[in-house]
Structure 1
């Protein structure tokens, strides 16, 4: 249960949060409401990393069966809770996602994934024949079947972060890089920054790829690049999109469903997302590279070809923007959340790759509960940092 901002007694306990993305800022919000004195540090500005270059999907449809799918179900419900409590009013758009099969091989993937979604109690509706034509036929005439994954949503990451910033209750140190920590007897006592050293009773690392700077295990997380395309606004004569169209190949590219061949260092999926503005967001790639500022013509061309093949009406539109970002990808494809060895008051929440916007607010809440010594509302044992025996780097 959330408490109004002014109702929680302030505490002498202080927490330093490294990283002003959606996970760090959500944790700041909930820790502040729990009475902690919170300071968020970021080497840049808020939402300047993966949060600011994400597609905004709050989606179970693409999740791998198991803990991630279960947590995504809880995360969608948590967004709905935050709307009801007035925290994220107007920042979350409920909608369905349509997972589309265009050939027999994709149909096999679709049917398998639909069964796994249903097993996780995700509400879905299989669309074939007349029902398929009536719902998405004009948008995707080549589709032979689709699964409508219901009770999904969309949230723009930087807008969520800005809302949390405006609600306030915590300090933000922008353009203030944290270089290490002061400690005593296995207990962190402060953070060392470019702006000086500041006291902290607890620390949360929520800075994506940058979290590895503080840990001895430097090869645990790697950058995974994604490229996205934005079109101009669709005209009145364009087919209606009832929600984002997700090719079954996206499930394979993300690892949510098995592929017929070995994983490649570069893979393409396809999601066509109708935005509130009337534009379309088309994505995306998954590339084990770190050249964030570069957009590649071959990747963009391939995504556009695939998008037009699935939805020919998109050929009428112009591309007005191409951008890319870096996701933090872990060695085993699962986020890392929990306590770091070598310090009894150091916590980490990182490695969410393409799931940060979906899981971010919920993870912020669970981090708050862990730091406060409360049992988390959700089972996150599969994400526990102890599976990698994480320890604080000697130099930090």
Structure 2
């Protein structure tokens, strides 16, 4: 994989996927221009829960890809690129009533069937393992070897290591077709036309119109909250607490109702700062605001699960709008009919986990090198070809 033949690449979008793509392309010798409508990590990557996790995945391509994503985080942490940014810890899924126990047991069986190392904890062992959780919790399933990373910190590290300057406040209005009609010649931006040999569209929700998939890539909002520091309580949690309701909210459990305008899950994540991140919602809207009813519901659920949280102040609430796809799978690959156009979008809540891995895969696609990942389930042409040019 070598771009030192003078090949140039324009990457559109400086979230985690775009930043990782720029990093791996630059490492391979390509001349990279990174174009961003606002600022790095200004959208979903800067308003994410930071889960580097496979616990909530159902068996299939997303689980396989998430496992590879976690492995790359560990590798880049050991190599120093992510040093100090990646916190390794388990995810602990919990159930509070009989129906949740049944659902969580089924989910755990599915994970175990894929070779995941799990630990089932209940009874007195559960009380010792999670002394601060509600007495109503009846079952815990620990998923080991997972982690957490703050999105904007990873983006900042990737961009700095790439040596690529971000062209901020530059909106891409469309793609300009080459004379042959088989490739893209340039992107039309608010600062003029930018030409290159290759183009990567990694603009999250802004990708849909550019690649002709409006209505297939759609916005999905999540609201979250952050508490003040509580080092003692934080240290007592072995990892992120994930309520069975979270699995139901994202359809990780078969039979979950997946079309409500607003769905609530619950994750209480002990951050390395000593704070707690509490989330969240899944809402079919592009509105970026928080609302009191949602925050109240989230916090009440968190206190019910972990009662000592009632002593802490919430110091920040925020929301992020992620790009989701119609079939729940991201879009990764070369666009049909455009031999120099690669797209990587539609990750919803999995962008932090998958971002570095996808950036690495994008670098290989652009270089014409076979990817180590099976990207066929994520192929852009599964939705049919549409008009792509301005």
TM-score, normalization: structure 1?
Answer: 0.94
Distance 1:97 1:133 in 2: 17
Q: Higher mean Cα deviation, 337-346 or 46-55?
A: 337-346
Q: Choose which of 330, 354, 369 in structure 2 pairs with 1:374.
A: 369
Deviation at 1:123, TM superposition (A): 1.6
Q: Which residue of 1 aligns with 2:40?
A: 46
- The match for 1:111 among 96, 105, 109 is 105
| Aligned with 2:117 (options 98, 102, 123) | 123
The answer for the alignment partner of 2:343 in structure 1 is 348
2:223 is aligned with 1:227: yes
Contact 2:52–2:353 (CA<8 Å) still a contact in 1?
yes
Does residue 151 (structure 1) correspond to residue 145 (structure 2)? The answer is: yes
Partner-residue secondary structure (3-state), 2:130: helix
Q: In the TM superposition, what is the alpha-carbon distance from 1:381 to its structure 2 partner? A: 0.9
Candidates 197, 204, 213, aligned match of 2:193:
197
- Matched residue of 2:119: which SS? strand
Equivalent in the alignment of 1:315: 310
Shift of 1:172: 1.9
SS in 1 for 2:236: coil
**Which residue of the partner structure matches residue 5 of structure 1?**
none
- Secondary structure of the residue that 2:294 maps to in structure 1? helix
Q: 2:126 aligns with which of 132, 135, 151?
A: 132
Unaligned runs of 5+ in 2: none
1:368 match: secondary structure: helix
Q: 1:181-216: CA deviations, max 9, x gaps?
A: 332212212222222222211111100110012133
Q: What is residue 268 of structure 1 aligned with on the other side?
A: 264
CA RMSD of aligned residues (A): 1.7
Alignment check: 8 A CA contact 1:113 1:257 kept: yes
2:22, 2:159 within 8 Å by CA — same for their partners in 1? no
CA distance in 1, matches of 2:354, 2:81: 16
Which segment is superposed worse, 367-376 or 190-199? 190-199
Cα distance in 2 for residues equivalent to 1:257 and 1:283: 18
- Asked if 1 retains the 8 angstrom alpha-carbon contact of 2:77 and 2:83, the reply is yes
Deviations 1:306-351 (A, max 9, x none): 1111111111111111100101010111101111123211110000
CA shift at 1:137, angstroms?
Answer: 3.0
Cα deviation, residue 35, structure 1 = 1.1
Q: Structure 1 CA distance, aligned partners of 2:322 and 2:367?
A: 28
Match of 1:169 in 2: 163
Alignment of 1:1-396 (within 5 A): 10-182=4-176, 183-185=178-180, 186-234=182-230, 236=232, 240-259=236-255, 261=257, 263-292=259-288, 294-394=289-389, 396=390
In structure 1, distance between residues paired with 2:68 and 2:339? 28
**Cα distance in 1, alignment partners of residues 300 and 324 from structure 2:** 27
Judge which range, 88-97 or 193-202, deviates more. Answer: 193-202
CA distance in structure 2 between the aligned counterparts of 1:65 and 1:379, rounded to whole angstroms: 15
Q: Which deviations, in whole Å up to 9, do the C-alpha atoms of 1:218-255 show, x marking residues without a partner?
A: 21111101000111112647781111100011001011
Distance 1:23 1:237, change over 3 A: closer
Q: Residue 250 of structure 1: SS of its match in structure 2?
A: helix
State the 4+ residue runs in structure 1 displaced beyond 6 angstroms: none
Shift of 1:22: 0.4
Over 3 Å counting, the alpha-carbon distance change for 1:237 and 1:211 in structure 2 is: closer
TM-score normalised by length of structure 2: 0.96
Q: CA deviation at 1:266?
A: 0.9
Q: 1:220 to 1:260 in 2, by over 3 A?
A: closer
Check the 8 A contact 2:231/2:275 in 1, yes or no. no
Q: Distance in 2 between matches of 1:213 and 1:227?
A: 25
